[in-house]
Amino acid sequence: MKWVTRARIHVNRTATGWLILRFLDPAAEVRFVEPEDVARIQEREGATGFDAPGARYPHKDALGRCSFEQLVAERLSEDRALARLARIVHGADFPEEINATPESAGLWAISQGFTELGLDDSEVLARASFLYDSLYAHLRRVNASA
């Protein structure tokens, strides 16, 4: 399956790309394009857009959720660790909101350096996947002992 999002990824687009490749479709093609091209590519190529204007999963939906939260709620709602990670990603993606968690602040700070490393988006996603694998593993352990 093809997925498409805005280039120069940070928190939500990185987390959503990880979610897609880790849980929804390990063989997915994730493309990074200019924001104004996402809806056109989504329509023309049958890709699923996320975190962009006109995308199937917008930057913020009518319920105030980022695309990561939308996908978790729609497709993986039974996974308590992913639900908690979705709250962390939300807080990091929207740090101005008062419900951001301390974990969200750390994730936001880390993600700001992604583009500063001079890597292309595919490499950022590949490298950042270790971070999200680690967070997910920790949250699974915490939820198992709760």
pLDDT by residue (tens digit) across 113-145?
888 888 999 999 999 999 999 999 999 999 888
Q: How far is CA 16 from CA 71, 98, 114, 145, in A?
A: 8, 22, 15, 26
What is the pTM (predicted TM-score) of this model? 0.95
Report how many domains make up the chain.
1
Domain that holds residue 139: 2-145
Rounded CA separation 15/85 (Å): 9
Give the per-residue pLDDT at 121: 97
Q: Which amino acid would we find at residue 3? A: W
Rounded CA separation 54/104 (Å): 26
Residue 45, CB half-sphere, CA atoms under 13 Å: how many?
16
**Burial of 67 from C-beta contacts in 10 A (0-12 / 13-18 / 19+):** buried
DSSP H or E run through 83: helix 80-93
